Structure 1
Amino acid sequence: MRSSVTGDSARGAVNAPGLQPERTILAWQRTLLAATVACAGCARAATGRPSASLTAATLVLSAVLVVITIGTRLRRRRYRRRADDPRPIPQTVGALLCAGIGAAAGCVLLSLL
């Protein structure tokens, strides 16, 4: 039998239990970082060229940051308790994120008009 880098041992390392939740936590942290940068950029734009829509976008993005932080902490806490916990993050977190990002995008679009 031929041994290769993509053999069973390599697949076992990639599909090891506990890695998927860890990757999920890392993805949430990257999302939190990106949202922080977006909020900081929006806040900087609001101070440079004050408008109600940019201020509203900054406030909405701040709320999105809070929701992402809650989601990240919830996922990390579950991972520390049990690495193979299959329960997903509550759907309300995702719904709040989508609504918040949509509202912030609408506010930024209004400021561009």
Structure 2
Amino acid sequence: MSTSSPGGAVRDPGLQPERTRLAWRRTTLSATVVAVLAAKQAVRDGATGAGLLGAALSALVWIGFLMVAQGRMRELGEARPVGLGVGRAWVVVGCGVALAGFGVAVVW
């Protein structure tokens, strides 16, 4: 799928958009695993208040990450995808840090 740039030159993105979509899918899968493990740990611990709060927070963070990731994967299907954007990049970073914290809490 070649596209023309404003200068008239032909741009061939190759497989780069597909590789980026696959990277988003792998990252989403990792976030899903952390959220599921947090929920499993909450159930295993007898569904205490702290465990339920952690599972609920990890689910909310996962949903936020999922929304950004799905939007980005849709955008990468376009001929000339736009950049991620600073605001959404900060959301992704925040979700990643939060899920890493939840992952550590689950293992701890």
What SS class does the counterpart of residue 80 from structure 1 fall into? coil
TM-score with structure 2 setting the length: 0.66
CA RMSD of aligned residues (A): 2.8
In structure 2, C-alpha distance between the alignment counterparts of 1:111 and 1:30, rounded to whole Å? 21
Post-superposition CA distance 1:40-67 (Å, at most 9, x none)? 1110100111344433332222223222
Q: Is the 8 A contact 1:25 1:76 kept in 2?
A: yes
Picking from 34, 40, 47, the partner of 1:38 is 34
In structure 2, C-alpha distance between the alignment counterparts of 1:110 and 1:44, rounded to whole Å? 9
In structure 2, C-alpha distance between the alignment counterparts of 1:37 and 1:111, rounded to whole Å? 13
User: Counterpart of 1:63?
Assistant: 60
Q: Is the 8 A contact 2:42 2:48 kept in 1?
A: yes
In structure 2, C-alpha distance between the alignment counterparts of 1:97 and 1:78, rounded to whole Å? 16
How many residue pairs get matched? 95
Structure index of larger Rg: 1
Picking from 80, 86, 89, the partner of 2:84 is 89
- The range that moved more, 37-46 or 66-75, is 66-75
Q: Which segments of 5 or more consecutive residues in structure 2 lack a partner in the other structure?
A: 1-11
In structure 2, C-alpha distance between the alignment counterparts of 1:70 and 1:95, rounded to whole Å? 14
Instruction: From the superposition, tell whether residues 90 and 60 of structure 1 become closer, same or farther in structure 2 (CA, over 3 Å).
Output: farther
TM-score with structure 1 setting the length: 0.63
Shift of 1:92: 2.3
